[in-house]
């Protein structure tokens, strides 16, 4: 996960984080948030939650200017296991 400066955190608002990959298609949803991956940034919690529950992977690729083939079912499953957290959440700090 990227380390962000306090000024940058204040501007971002909300982050969609996804749990770290363990193996064999499994993810560790119990890992500390500081080890999760930042999937996207949003201006509000509502935008983040809406994206997490409704945006399809192909739209996500277009949003980020990427092209490629992805496993839509796996991407949706991972995003639903994610969490929307405030960018200044203290759980994001590495100890």
How far is 50 from 46, CA to CA, in rounded Å? 6
Residue 35 lies in a domain: yes
Question: For residue 36, is it within any domain?
Answer: yes
Phi and psi at 37, nearest 5°, equal: -100, 135
Which tokens is 31 given? 């890992």
pTM for this model (two decimals):
0.68
CA proximity to 57, closest of 45, 44, 47, 66: 66
The answer, yes or no, to whether residue 47 has pLDDT greater than 90, is yes
- Structural domain that includes position 77: 8-89
Give the model's pLDDT for residue 23. 81
Residue 37 located in a structural domain: yes
| Residue 95 belongs to some domain of the structure | no
- In the chain, how many H helices and how many E strands? 4, 5
pLDDT in tens, 49-73: 998 888 665 555 555 554 444 566 6
């Amino acid at each position: 996960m990227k380390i962000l400066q306090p000024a940058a955190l204040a501007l971002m608002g909300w982050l969609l984080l996804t749990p770290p990959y363990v193996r064999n298609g499994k993810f560790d949803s119990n890992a500390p948030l500081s080890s999760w991956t930042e999937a996207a940034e949003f201006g509000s919690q509502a935008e983040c939650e809406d994206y997490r529950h409704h945006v399809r992977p192909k739209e996500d690729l277009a949003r980020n200017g990427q092209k490629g083939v992805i496993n839509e079912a796996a991407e949706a499953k991972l995003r639903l296991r994610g969490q929307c957290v405030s960018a200044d959440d203290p759980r994001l700090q590495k100890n």
